[in-house]
Structures are given as C-alpha cells and as structure tokens.
Structure 1
Amino acid sequence: MNHLITLALCVFAFQTKAQTFKNPDSLFNPTPYGSSHASSVKTSGELVYISGQSGGLGKDHILSTSFREQVQVAIKNLTTILNSYQLKPENVMKITILIVDHSSEKLKIWEEEISKTWKNKPFPTSTLIPVPRLALDNMLIEVDAVAFKAN
C-alpha cells in the first residue's frame, strides 16, 4: 500500500512540475469561464495549448462589429500568448478557427490577415469550423492553437 501511495505522489509531482498554465495580464481574464488562455506540457520540447482567442480587445474584451477587426485582434491575442512563451507564429503547429456565419468573403479576410502574421510560411495545420454562434454575444471568430518550443 505504501508503494502505491508513493507512486501516486510521484506521478502527481511529475504532473504539476511538467504542466504550466498562463493567463497574460494584458488579456481578458478567462478563469470565471473555466479556462486558461494557454497551457503547456514539457516533453523533449514543450507543447503549448492555447485556448480559443476571440476578437475581444484587452481586459475589457471589447468586440468590434467588424469581422476584419475581430480577426486582427484574435491574431494579436494569439501572438501575445505566444510571446509569453518566447515563441513566434512559426512555432504554431495547429490552429482551429471558428467563424460565425462563415462565408467566402470572411475566408478571404482570414487569409489576408493571417498572411500578415505568418510571413515565413508554411502555415500551421488548421481546421476551420463554421458555427452559428460563439460563447459570447457579438463574437464573430475564435482561434485556438497548439505550438511547440524545442529545448
């Protein structure tokens, strides 16, 4: 029995030291909604999991009515989190994009704006999911990501 308790404590200690969660002070506080902006798990490198970033600006999460402006802010918010890990967009391996009432016009705007950030292609892998609504009223886009930081 003592061996099982010791093993459980070792596993718990490993998990808590290997995992980190970040909520940069300049971004909206997501903790009341049961999430963090980003989490990472150390491997031979570090995987960084970034929660869906909306087009909400700053701590007050101000949402423009412009889809383009929300895309720009969502990418800026994603970049803020990457910077908190000393990462760049090139470190992103996978993104998921949720767009309210998706259309070819909105896809064109996404492509134009993402190309400004990912200047050094290739782009990360991605999934675009059209949705009828997001978590908060007036949110038009949400982008999550997984990034990798080599040791």
Structure 2
Amino acid sequence: MKYLISLLLCAFTFQTKAQTFKNPDSLFNPAPYGFSHVSSVKTPGEFIYISGQSGGLGKEHFLNPDFRIQVKTALENLKIILNSYQLKPENVMKITILIVDHSPEKLKIWEEEISKVWNGKPFPASTLIPVPKLALDGMLIEVDAIAFKAN
C-alpha cells in the first residue's frame, strides 16, 4: 500500500519551473553559437508550433537583400508571434534555422543577432540547415520554432 501511494504521488508531482535547458559538461559549450544542446518541458501546458518565419518585412513581405537585416526581421517576426501568445523568446524550446548559401560570416551574424534577442536567457535547442534556396526568390533565412506556454 505504501508503494502504491508513493507511485500515485509521483504521478501527480508538479514542477514549478516548467522549462529546463541543459548543456552537459562533456559536450562543447554551444552558448557562443546561440543555442542549448537540449531543452525540455515537464509540466502541462500548450505547445506552440511556429511556421518558418522569413526575413520578409510587413504584410508586403519586403525582402531586403542584406542578410543581417533579414535575420533581424525574421527574429522580430518570431517575437510578434510569441507576443500574440503572451510569450517571450525564452519560451522557445526548439528552433530550426535555414540559411541560403551558409558561410562562417552568416553564422557570425546569426550568433550576434540571436544573442541580442535572447539577451542572456538560456538559448533554445537548435538545428541550423544550410540550403541552396528557400520558398521565394530573395529569401536568405527562415526560422521555425516550437514554444511552450505553461498552464
């Protein structure tokens, strides 16, 4: 009986901090590159799946040919969506970044701009995929995300 009560109590345990971000000591430090190795959620809530956001500005989806400007715009578009759920960048658990004609220079720009948006908060888990082209001519970056909103 004591064992059954323990099992039932464990099944209903609620963690006050819903999100965990980890960078195991035995792996390289990913923080300078703007991501964490792993993120997890241990509490009931709502997952928000955000479609790829490009660097297109406004309803006209204007694509500036400058990569840094598109990165800033894609991150701003992501923040607009998060805000519509009353969330912030630190609620993002996982992102995927698609970069056209990826290079060390573009990676440096990405790292600088994501660091400004996350501003010292834990970075989400991340995958960067170099691609030759995206959906529209002139698109240089696309960022999708999975965010979590605790109940």
- How many Å apart are 1:121 and its aligned residue? 2.4
- Looking at structure 2, the residues matched to 67 and 52 of structure 1 have their Cα atoms a distance apart, in angstroms, of 16
1:149 partnered with 2:146:
no
Unaligned runs of 5+ in 2: 1-42
Aligned residue identity for 1:60:
E
Matched, 1:61 2:61: yes
Q: What is the aligned-residue RMSD (CA, Å)? A: 0.9
Q: Give 4+ residue runs of structure 1 displaced > 3 Å after superposition.
A: none
CA apart distance, 1:120: 3.2
Match in the other structure for 2:113: 113
Which structure has the higher relative contact order (CA within 8 Å, separation 6+)? 2
What is the alpha-carbon distance in structure 1 between the residues aligned to residue 68 and residue 44 of structure 2? 38
2:135 paired residue number? 135
Aligned-pair CA distance for 1:98 = 0.1
Shift of 1:133: 0.0
* C-alpha deviation, 1:122, in angstroms: 1.4
TM-score, normalization by structure 2? 0.71
Q: In 2, are the aligned partners of 1:90 and 1:120 still within 8 Å (CA)? A: no
Tell me, yes or no, if structure 1 residue 84 matches structure 2 residue 84: yes
Q: Indicate the percent of aligned positions where both proteins have the same amino acid.
A: 79
Trace 1:1-150 onto structure 2 (pairs within 5 A).
44-150=44-150
Gaps of 5+ in 1: 1-42
